[in-house]
Structure 1
């Protein structure tokens, strides 16, 4: 798929590095997180050559596989799960001041993504400064702007199963407390809760297991995320996008991939999709308190779901009120 694009022209001075080897160099960097110098010694090429290959091939991978991934997308209401964000720890860029510095004391850029029920990425936005709050990252992204102004093209409201008397309710993206509460953006109640609010938080947390597992699978395959990513922020963006689209490609083409779309009732996601086998140093959850300025409509939707999960939509495996 990418061979013809990354094939270099043979000249009278030297033979180019074959496309298979160029791809291998790029994938080795993404899969191991080794330095350019280490990979250069391994393949007997120059350090600057490795840097150019990684930059070029990651861009080509993204451009080649995005249309392939889009062909497998089903309807949004059958697919999407949650809206997570993760901070990717990077080497402090020169002359960047505090733009990339987050309150945990590391330099990072933010990966904002929409994850579906098959552990795949549907939307990826990467490159925001580490100091930016998750709510601002969402608001500044193309996806967030369309979501917040109602032009994203979400499915129409539907009736909840077995609760027609509650009226039609909107589809929502499941998030954590770092994001604001909106009509189509559902966050948990903050702090320790009891009663129906505790049940709601539990159900929301259960749905977000798919999100956590997706990032676990990503970091277990692409160990670039395990340490400080030692390339420039612009190149980090292309590398992250390449790993996300390769993650989707592998999920949909591997014969050993578990294709179950969602965990059965009472069975949490980790039993079907193991997370990373250890702490991902380079992939951090930096939680911030989201805005409390929710609209009355958003509060109404959440209270409707609170009532539904405690009554008509109650599950046998959830906590009792």
Structure 2
């Protein structure tokens, strides 16, 4: 055997030894789940923790619901709402038991997801709190969120005819004194940790990484339309221009009511959305006067009334963030997971 052959043989032996060691290292499992999590679930499971939270919800003296109960503070929802949602998605998120271990019950899977949405805590923090591994939580939350979207997507209803739009317009006129308004539009930047290898793709004009939640809201803070996922240095108006709602609005596919006069006037006016300075002024989208155009008395009154109507969308985002505080914190997830 020549020196070259010996060198190749030695290198081959070292390489194969490394593969064997790597295979042995990968196949050797110290335990199925960490003892701290297994023992913690045996001593005090998530199901028992939820039962204890329910005891705080009812005052034992008068048996009335207490608004500041521990259950609602923990999940940001009442137990009755939790039961309703769990009844809708319980069969979808349930898993079968195997010969190796029992599946996590749907109630606990739903509890993990609701706590994540209510607090915005990291998966590691939830792992220590609810005694589940981080890998398990990372698979549970997207599955439960997908199930919630599938059963609740019809609850965000876009009006289908002129009669439905007229109801919204009447609410804006009665509550906010702005006639012929069919919705308030605004966008919210959801902060996220810079995605891997994304560069400046998600870096917005406000100098942080985000994706945009664009929404149209009626006078009672109900969402009519929502679009999420746009990124980069795009304003709210630019996001709206790329939505299907804008396309339907331009092609008269939304079945808006015919133009009608404003109160005390005779000239017919189009029904329109209201937005801030970030949006483009069109026939069906009104924005406030800006700069020198807002110095007159009539212009200031118009801006005041329009801002009252626009404030509905900002208030809706505030209510949403107050209930689901995951929207207040930077999300430590990849955008593909957040869009679910």
User: TM-score surpassing 0.5?
Assistant: yes
- 8 Å CA contact retained: 1:110, 1:130: no
| Partners of 1:131 and 1:94 in 2: CA distance | 18
Q: Which residue of 2 aligns with 1:126?
A: 228
Q: Which residue of 2 aligns with 1:151?
A: 253
Q: Does 1:185 align with 2:274?
A: no
Work out which of the residue numbers 190, 206, 221 in structure 1 matches 2:323: 221
- 8 Å CA contact retained: 1:40, 1:47: yes
Q: Which residue of 1 aligns with 2:116?
A: 29
Q: Which residue of 2 aligns with 1:77?
A: 166
Q: Cα offset for 1:208?
A: 1.5
More helix by share: 2
Q: Which residue of 1 aligns with 2:276?
A: 176
| Partners of 2:165 and 2:103 in 1: CA distance | 44
Q: Cα offset for 1:178?
A: 0.1
Q: Does 1:137 align with 2:239?
A: yes
| Partners of 1:76 and 1:206 in 2: CA distance | 19
Number of equivalenced pairs: 236
Q: Give 1:200-219 correspondences, 5 Å limit.
A: 200-219=302-321
Q: Does 1:15 align with 2:15?
A: no
Q: Which residue of 2 aligns with 1:67?
A: 154
Q: Which residue of 2 aligns with 1:281?
A: none
Q: Which runs of 5+ in 1 are unaligned?
A: 239-321
Q: CA RMSD in A?
A: 1.9
Q: Cα offset for 1:71?
A: 10
- 8 Å CA contact retained: 2:272, 2:284: yes
| Partners of 1:114 and 1:72 in 2: CA distance | 12
Q: Which residue of 1 aligns with 2:90?
A: 3
| Partners of 1:77 and 1:100 in 2: CA distance | 38
Q: Does 1:115 align with 2:217?
A: yes
- 8 Å CA contact retained: 2:193, 2:331: yes
Ranked by relative contact order (alpha carbons within 8 Å, sequence separation 6 or more), the top structure is 1
Q: Cα offset for 1:72?
A: 10
Look at both structures and tell me which one has the larger radius of gyration over its CA atoms.
2
- 8 Å CA contact retained: 1:92, 1:107: yes
Q: Cα offset for 1:68?
A: 4.1
Q: Which moved more, 1:22-31 or 1:141-150?
A: 141-150
- 8 Å CA contact retained: 1:138, 1:145: no
Structure 2 counterpart SS, 1:189: coil
| Partners of 1:230 and 1:127 in 2: CA distance | 16
Structure 2 counterpart SS, 1:83: strand
| Partners of 1:111 and 1:169 in 2: CA distance | 30
Q: Which runs of 5+ in 2 are unaligned?
A: 1-87, 169-181
| Partners of 2:233 and 2:184 in 1: CA distance | 23
| Partners of 2:261 and 2:98 in 1: CA distance | 66
Q: Which residue of 2 aligns with 1:294?
A: none
| Partners of 2:132 and 2:92 in 1: CA distance | 20
Q: Cα offset for 1:110?
A: 0.7
Q: Give 1:166-315 correspondences, 5 Å limit.
A: 166=267, 168-191=268-291, 193-194=294-295, 195-238=297-340
Q: Which residue of 1 aligns with 2:143?
A: 56
CA deviations over 1:39-86 (Å, ceiling 9, x no partner):
111121111111111111111111111224549998123224301111
Q: Cα offset for 1:162?
A: 2.0
Q: Which residue of 2 aligns with 1:46?
A: 133
